[in-house]
Structure 1
Amino acid sequence: MQNQSDQIEWRDGDVPVSTQFDDPFFSLDDGVAETEHVFLAGNDLPARFVDGFHIAELGFGTGLNLLVAWDAWEKAGCSGTLFFTSFEAFPLSKADMERAHAAFPDFGGKRDILKDAWEPYGGVLNLPGVQVDVVLGDARETVSQWEGRADAWFLDGFSPAKNPELWGEGLMCDVAKHTQPYGTAATYTAAGFVRRNLATAGFAVERTEGYGRKRHMTRAKLPS
């Protein structure tokens, strides 16, 4: 695994950029708004939230998607537990996580709760209202070994042009196998090969309006 101190360079102040993939960890326009548009609205959330709803994610990154989903869960007044499983090959150090979080809202204190609980070793984090499981390793191996099934997927790897391994047909098929009937997936990319791989995996795929500088994004749903 790459040394954590070498994984990030900081541009324009506190914008974290992966040195391996030369790609920022979140939108340079507004990372929170992008997550709300792509991953929440793209999966018809929070309208679908129920006790035990399970989100799975390719790429934990800074934890922004978790914070936005967790905040939406709480604001929706949901009772019970939201489950959130994230597959991450290169976890951020605690110091880098804290620095990245400085760009985010407080989310009613959730940002600091996550920061204090975070350690880059994977495993389960029991946070108020949400159980988070960070699965370390190559998603091409770990997703297939996972015993769970998600109601919604946040497909949030680095750019397909720079990290094509996280968008391959085999992994998209594994995603489909670990999705509940009528489950959904969403991603910021509308790359043709990503949409084709999702379709091959069994998803009904549509290209919709993207966020910010991205003209289009992708939504997908299992027919059964």
Structure 2
Amino acid sequence: MTRENLENTAVPDRQTLEWREGDMPYSQEFGDHFYCREDGRLECGHVFLGGNGLPERWQRSGQFRIGELGFGTGLNFCETWRRWKETRTEGGELHFVSFERFPMDTGEINRALSRWPEIDAERQALRAQWPAQPSGIVDLDFGDIRLTVVCGAALDEIARFSGLFDAWYLDGFAPRRNPDMWSQELMHLVHAKTVDGGTFATYAAAGFVRRNLEAAGFIIDRRPGFGSKREMLCGMKPTFRVA
């Protein structure tokens, strides 16, 4: 789907899901699966955690904040939470903030996440607190980890968000199917909302995505992708010091 076609398509009231292979959600609007068909949980570890230097970077006291474009099924949050519990440092806090235009309901999230027994405890805890029909700002407290899901258009909601982020998971639908989620304007905003020395990681390696991230000011690193994907992108916001 081209940018022009996407802009000329009326925005639906909610995401229309199709279930494939029993518990794998597929977006009819964007013609894409919500995660890698090979293994979305392992891809999260390779791309988003590994690409952002986690868990090593959060092993310190104080708050570490992760931003995510596209909450989807909550898979990245649950896998991150699982790793956090294994590696957290005393005095550390994790704030996971995700921007999602079409939030799933409780049953849909539970069905999608039931695919992975490794995150069963996280799935059940998320299901217990997740609202039946999420909207606005969903703010959930799980002790030393906090989840905030901001429901709405990413460009508008990130601009309104007051905090800065240590790391970003850029996980919208495939760039050719959802180009607005990878636009230069949005990448500039992500850069502006990142701390000096902060990072991003994404499974995407399309040329226009890389150029938009470079134009925003990130230093880009290409790495081997997960599974059948040849490349992925990660990068850092440089730290500038005044002489």
TM-score range, shorter chain: over 0.9
Cα pair 1:151 1:184 within 8 Å, conserved: yes
Partner Cα distance (1:97, 1:63) in 2: 7
Partner of 1:148: 163
Per the alignment, in what secondary structure is the counterpart of residue 81 of structure 1? strand
5+ residue gaps, structure 2, are: 1-10
Partner Cα distance (2:105, 2:138) in 1: 15
Query: Residue type matched to 1:94 in 2?
Result: T
Partner of 1:132: 147
| Match status 1:57 vs 2:68 | yes
Partner Cα distance (2:177, 2:82) in 1: 30
Cα pair 2:51 2:201 within 8 Å, conserved: yes
Partner of 1:31: 40
CA deviation vs aligned residue, 1:168-224 (integer Å, no higher than 9, x gap):
000000000000000000000100110110111100012110001111000110111
Partner of 1:177: 192
Partner Cα distance (1:35, 1:74) in 2: 16
Residues matched between the structures, number = 223
Partner of 1:78: 89
- Residues 69-108 of structure 1 aligned to structure 2 (within 5 Å): 69-79=80-90, 80-107=92-119
Cα pair 1:106 1:112 within 8 Å, conserved: no
Partner Cα distance (1:134, 1:161) in 2: 25
Q: TM-score, normalised by structure 2?
A: 0.88
Per the alignment, in what secondary structure is the counterpart of residue 131 of structure 1? strand
Tell me whether 198-207 or 72-81 shows the greater mean CA deviation.
Answer: 72-81
CA deviation vs aligned residue, 1:133-191 (integer Å, no higher than 9, x gap):
11111111111111111000000000000000000000000000000000000000100
- Residues 36-47 of structure 1 aligned to structure 2 (within 5 Å): 36-47=45-56
Cα pair 1:123 1:133 within 8 Å, conserved: yes
> Per-residue deviation at 1:25?
0.8
Partner Cα distance (1:2, 1:98) in 2: 23
Cα pair 1:58 1:87 within 8 Å, conserved: yes
Query: Residue type matched to 2:18 in 1?
Result: E
Query: Residue type matched to 1:161 in 2?
Result: R
Q: Which has the larger radius of gyration?
A: 2
Partner of 1:22: 31
Q: Which runs of 4+ in 1 moved over 3 A?
A: 1-4
Question: Among the aligned pairs, what percent are the same residue?
Answer: 43
Cα pair 2:114 2:120 within 8 Å, conserved: no
Tell me whether 92-101 or 56-65 shows the greater mean CA deviation.
Answer: 92-101
Query: Residue type matched to 1:163 in 2?
Result: N
Q: TM-score, normalised by structure 1?
A: 0.95
Partner Cα distance (1:136, 1:23) in 2: 20
Cα RMSD (Å): 1.3
> Per-residue deviation at 1:129?
2.2
5+ residue gaps, structure 1, are: none
